[in-house]
Amino acid sequence: MRVEPFSVGSYVHAIKRGARGLPIVQNEEDKIRFLRILYYMNDEFLDPYWDLATHNRTPYIRLDSWPKRKPIVRILAYTLMPNHIHLLLKEIRDGGISEFMRKLGQSMSNHHNEKYNQHGSIFQGSYRGRTVESDEYLHYVAAYIMVKNIFELYPRGGLRGATEHFEDAWKWGTEYPFSSLGDYAGVRKSPILEPEILGETFSPHTFKSFCRDVIEGGKWLQVEFE
């Protein structure tokens, strides 16, 4: 398990994989909770009863008794897969990404163990991370995280089928709720996300065009590191 060195201001492609090839989410409820984790764990303050206090209430509500939210990372992109998580993060304070990934993994494991009467971490050790060294690489990473991975889940033949039927796969992918693709495609706006440089670079139309080029040209291979 390797994490490349980085500092404040760095962009990092982080991946956290489930142990022994097992799924890290079991049902829709677990997947929705993952989205809530991305929001509530990305804060200097953490109410130990955050899940109970916010459950079945307005999504991403903050209680009046909580202090003002202070994120510890910036989340530019994410995709939840059955057995792993892809994230594009920016380090905004020393140790922020490591702390966020630790909190995310711990919260998911604790919830899984309590709910399903299991023990131990559901993840394969710590996270892996690759530092993004250029704007061009950042763009490819965004397409890899949000499009290549989702297209692997495409019901009409996975990645190959999605490549052959890009328009249909794109529409299907933008409706997949457990990724930030819908935000960049302009179909929703989540408080989890801070598009930052990607939002400044791409419009929904230009992002789709860029992703088509990446997928159909196999250019996502340039950022493959699993």
- Same-domain status, 80 and 22: yes
Residues 6+ apart with CB under 8 A from 20: 124
pTM of the complete model beyond 0.75: yes
Tally of domains in the chain: 2
In this prediction, residue 1 carries a pLDDT of 41
pLDDT at 226 over 80: no
Alpha carbon distance 100, 106 (integer Å): 10
Question: What range does the domain containing 63 cover?
Answer: 11-129
Pairing of strands 128-132, 84-91: unpaired
Beta strands in the chain (DSSP E): 11-17, 73-80, 84-91, 128-132
Under the banding of pLDDT at 50, 70 and 90, the label for residue 57 is: confident
- Is residue 118 a part of any domain in this protein? yes
pLDDT at position 2, please?
61
Q: Residue 39's domain is classified under what CATH number?
A: 3.30.70.1290
What is the overall mean pLDDT for the chain?
93
Among 129, 155, 175, give the residue marking a domain's end: 129
- CA of residue 106 relative to chain centroid, distance: 16
**pLDDT tens digits along 110-159:** 999 999 999 989 999 889 999 999 999 999 999 999 999 999 999 999 99
CA-based angle 91:128:130, to the nearest 5? Answer: 55
Provide mean pLDDT across the span 179-197.
Answer: 95
172: in domain: yes
